[in-house]
Amino acid sequence: MTDFEVRPARPADHAAVAALTVAAYDADGFLDGDEEYAGELSDTVARSSQATLLVAADPDGTVLGAVTYCRPPSPYVEVARPGESEFRMLAVDPAARGRGVGAALVQAVLDLARQHGDHAVVLSSLPQMHSAHRLYERLGFRRVPERDHMPIPDFLLVAYHRAVEEAGDRAGG
C-alpha cells in the first residue's frame, strides 16, 4: 500500500508538475541548459490537452511525480504503433524517490493501456538514464533497439517495449 494516490492531473497541479519535471530532469543532468526542452517539459497545459497527464500526489495534494500517457495520434507519440500506448516525461521529485512513485506511475500507464485495449506499452529514453532503465526493466520492459530513433540529428533515444497482460496481472516489483 502506498501513501499517495495516482490520478489524472488537475489544472491546479499543472504548475507543480512543470516545476517538478524540469527540476527532476535538471537534477539528473538531462537538461544541460536545453531551454527548448525545459519549455516542452514545462508545457503541462499542452500535455494535458493532447495526452493524459497523470500525477502521484500525497494526501495533502503535494505532487510527487508525473508522467505523460499517450496513444496515436497524439503529437506526443514518438514510437507507439497502432495498438500500443506510450509514456513520456516520467519524473519523480528527487525528495520522493524510493517511495515507489515511479513504479506506481508506470503501473497506472499499463492499466490505462489495458483499458484502451492496447497490446503493448512503449517508451523512448536517453541512453544515459540508467536509473530509469533499471525501473523499466524491473517492471518487465525490454529494450527494442530496432525502434531506437533520433528525433533530431545526433540525439539518440533508446526504445523499450512491454506487453500488456490481462486484467489482474501486475508489473513486477
- Say whether pLDDT at 172 is over 60: no
CA dist 38 → 25, 79, 89, 105 (Å): 9, 21, 11, 21
Q: Give me the pLDDT at residue 1, please.
A: 58
3-class DSSP string for the chain: CCCCEEEECCHHHHHHHHHHHHHHHHHCCCCCCCHHHHHHHHCHHHHHHHCEEEEEECCCCCEEEEEEEECCCCCCCCCCCCCEEEEEEEEECHHHCCCCHHHHHHHHHHHHHHHCCCCEEEEEECCCCHHHHHHHHHCCCEECHHHCEEEECCEEEEEEEEECCCCCCCCCC
Cell numbers found for residue 123: 517508451
CATH 3.40.50.620 fits 5-163, yes or no: no
At 154, give phi and psi (nearest 5°).
60, 30
Cell numbers found for residue 151: 528525433
Q: Cα(8)–Cα(66) distance, rounded to whole angstroms?
A: 9
**Does this model's pTM top 0.85?**
yes
Domain limits, the chain: 5-163
30-87: pLDDT as tens digits: 887 778 888 888 999 999 999 999 999 999 999 999 999 999 999 999 999 999 999 9
Residue 124, strand partner residues = 159
137-165: pLDDT as tens digits: 999 999 999 999 998 888 899 999 999 98
- Say whether pLDDT at 169 is over 70: no
